Amino acid sequence: MGLLRIPHQDGQEGFVLVHIAPLAQKGAAALDVKILATEGSAPFALTLKQNQIQKLKSKKAPCTDDEWEAILEVILLQQESDPDKAAAAEGIEVEAAVEEDVAVELIFKKSTSGITQRLGSLRLPHDEDQEIELFDWCGASISHSHSLTSTLQSAQAALRKEQSKSQKLAEQLEELIKAKGENEHSLLEKFALLLNEKKAKIRELQGGRGGDEGVEMPSRHKKEDSPVVDSKKAGASRRGKRKAETVEPEEMDVDADEEGREEEATRDTSDDQETEDEDGEDEEPVTAKKAGGRGGKAGPVDQDMDLDGEATESEDDGL
């Protein structure tokens, strides 16, 4: 059972009271209801059947049959529990067009972007046989109002409880954020200290290595320079050997000439050396000294002296 207050059409003063009651029938549908209305003086009545509601929809209505059914359920029966049906009835307006002692028409329309479109209407003809029980209607309306008030209070209490929880959660979140910030700040400070200590240790290690390297560098340079000096010395010694080799043949030639002259001298004086073999032996060391003094070799001179000795002996035998 429901009671609606429908304003007059086009902003006229006054309103129409509409009372909706379900039909007392087995297997009745949700929209199988009896509608009574009054503008304050005459009764108007309509028995609505759910299988006939599509005929009440306007031909140019911008809604489907299901949407039209949902709109009637939400407005007439005040069933807003279904969110889909509530969304379909959103923005719907109902006005009452009264024809005195003839009929009351309930017009359903929707305004979109300033354009008003008619969805459908319910026509309640005048019926003198119907009794308007305003006292019962007022009692039912007050009872429904109390029920709605109780529901609202329960919803408000639940809302306040949820708000309190959300406030506590917000405070906890703020504390956590603050603690996180402090923790991050302390961690950054510790990290900065640790990083500075590591940098100081690295600098100390680099300083120690730099000192060691400074001491070792001269020895490395010396080791690298020594092969150059040795190569220079080796080059000089090789050059001296080459010079000595070029000088030795000249000295050998001079010694050979002197030996030839000495041989001629010994032949000329062979007569005087018949009894002086020892003197010939004394001359051999002299020639050896000369050869050794100039060329440093006495081998060829000794051979020549042996030949001369043999020659003197043969001459002595002949004599």
Q: Residue 4 pairs with which residues in a beta bridge?
A: 18
Counting residues of the chain whose pLDDT is more than 90, the rounded percentage is 20
How would you classify the pairing of strands 43-48 and 92-99?
unpaired
pLDDT at 211 (0 to 100): 56
Give yes or no for residue 183 having a pLDDT over 90. Answer: yes
The more confidently predicted of residues 39 and 284 is 39
Q: Compute how many other C-beta atoms are within 10 angstroms of the C-beta atom of residue 115.
A: 8
DSSP track, 187-215: HHHHHHHHHHHHHHHHHHHHHHHHHHHHH
Tell me which of 37-41, 143-147, 230-234 is least confident: 230-234
Give yes or no for residue 122 having a pLDDT over 70. Answer: yes
pLDDT at 130 (0 to 100): 86
pLDDT at 238 (0 to 100): 54
The more confidently predicted of residues 43 and 295 is 43
Q: Residue 48 pairs with which residues in a beta bridge?
A: 33
Residue type, 186: S
238-292 pLDDT tens trace: 555 454 444 444 444 444 455 555 555 555 555 454 444 444 444 444 444 444 4
DSSP track, the chain: -EEEEEEBGGG-S-EEEEEEEE---TT--TT-EEEEEESSSSEEEEEE-GGGGGGGB-TT-SS-HHHHHHHHHHHHS----SHHHHHHTTTEEEEEEEETTTEEEEEEEEEETTEEEEEEEEEEEB-TT----HHHHHHHHHHHHHHHHHHHHHHHHHHHHHHHHHHHHHHHHHHHHHHHHHHHHHHHHHHHHHHHHHHHHHHHHHHHHHHHHHHHHHHHHHHHHHHHHHHHHHHHHHHHHHHHHHHHHHHHHHHHHHHHHHHHHHHHTTGGGTT-HHHHHHHHHHHHHHHHHHTS--HHHHHHHHHHHHHHHHHHHH-
The Cα 135–Cα 146 span in angstroms is 17
Burial class (CB in 10 A: 0-12, 13-18, 19+), 301: buried
Give yes or no for residue 55 having a pLDDT over 60. Answer: yes
On the CB side of 209, CA atoms within 13 Å amount to 6
User: What mean pLDDT do residues 95-104 have?
Assistant: 88
For the chain, give the number of residues.
319
The more confidently predicted of residues 305 and 242 is 242
Whether the full predicted model's pTM is greater than 0.75, yes or no, is no
